Each structure stands twice: as C-alpha cells, then as structure tokens.
C-alpha cells in the first residue's frame, strides 16, 4: 500500500473558525477524515499533520523521504516565504501536490507567488477544502501509473 503525507502549515489548525468567509466551515479534522476515506478508496494510507512551525514541516518532509511515495501540502503562509520548504521538497523523490483552499490568485499580490509551486507536480487552488480530496484522488492516479 502506498503512503502519502498530507502536510498543513500555519493557522490551518483554526480551520472552520478562521475567516470562514474565505476558508469555509470545515475543520481540519473534517478534512483529515475526508482525505482518509478518499485515500482508502484509492489504496493509499496517509499521515496527516499540521504545524505552525516551519522546522516541523521540514522535518516531516524529511520523514516522508524515508517512507512515503507522495506529499500533498498546503504550506499556508509559508507558501509565499519559505525557500527552506522548497529546498526540503526538492530532496523528496516522489510526487508533490500543492493545495490551497482559497484561490490565492484572486487575493493580495503577495499570495500570487509560491516557492512550493517550483517543485509541485500539480496545484489546486480555490476549490475549498474539496481541493484536498481532489489532490488525494490525483495522487492515487499518479501512484497507480
Ligand atoms: C492558503 C492561502 C495562503 O495564502 C494563506 O496564507 C493560508 C491558506 C489557502 O489554503 O488558501 O494560510 O494556503
């Protein structure tokens, strides 16, 4: 069975209570459950993590190097700032998919640039939390090929 890491950056622990007009009312626990169900249907196991600390996300990417075939990541604000997360992802040999709940391109210009997109094999933005499930389905397809 394939293993996929699903990593979430800062403030996503507040999902459902944080600016719901932008990010919706689903909690991160809801998202995890939906991802787990979708992954199961596609023969994948997941490790689902969230941290407000950049080093922790980097350490999880390093752990994924040892055991995972794919990473789905919503780096949140680190998307737009973190060369360190890009560097870590560049050491990972599997598939990388980037997810944003909101359509970052419709928002402030500082959200238009993503360091992570320089490594991601695909990007989903603006599909709400459904974007995570779509990314899991896409990962299933990539890993089946
Ligand atoms: C986000 C978009 C980022 O610009 C923002 O900093 C977030 C969440 C999204 O999922 O839409 O925290 O990654």
Mean pLDDT (whole number) for 14-39? 97
Catalytic positions? 23, 100
Domain ranges across the chain: 2-144
Which pLDDT score is estimated for 45? 98
Q: Which helix (H) or strand (E) holds 122?
A: strand 122-125
* 69 CA distance to ligand 1 middle (Å): 24
Count CA within 13 A, CB hemisphere, residue 28: 17
pLDDT digits (tens, 9 = 90+) for 30-81: 999 999 999 999 999 999 999 999 999 999 999 999 999 999 999 999 999 9
Which pLDDT score is estimated for 100? 98
- 77 CB under 6 A from ligand 1? yes
Q: Is the pLDDT of residue 145 over 90?
A: no
What is the fold of 2-144?
Answer: Rossmann fold (3.40.50)
* 101 CA distance to ligand 1 middle (Å): 7
What percentage of the chain's residues is helix, strand, coil (to nearest 5)? 50, 20, 30
pTM recorded for the entire structure: 0.98
């Amino acid at each position: 069975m394939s293993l996929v890491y699903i990593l979430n950056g800062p403030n996503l622990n507040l999902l459902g209570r944080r600016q719901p007009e932008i990010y919706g009312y689903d909690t991160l626990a809801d998202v995890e459950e939906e991802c787990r169900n979708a992954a199961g249907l596609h023969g994948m196991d997941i490790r689902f993590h969230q941290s407000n600390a950049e080093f922790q996300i980097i350490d999880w990417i390093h752990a994924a190097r040892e055991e995972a075939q794919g990473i789905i990541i919503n780096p949140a604000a680190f998307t737009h700032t973190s060369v360190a997360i890009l560097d870590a992802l560049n050491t990972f040999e599997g598939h990388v998919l980037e997810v944003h709940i909101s359509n970052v391109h419709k928002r402030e210009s500082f959200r238009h640039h993503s360091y992570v997109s320089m490594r991601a094999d695909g990007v989903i933005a603006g599909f709400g939390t459904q974007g995570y499930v779509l990314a899991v389905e896409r990962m299933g397809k990539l890993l089946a090929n």
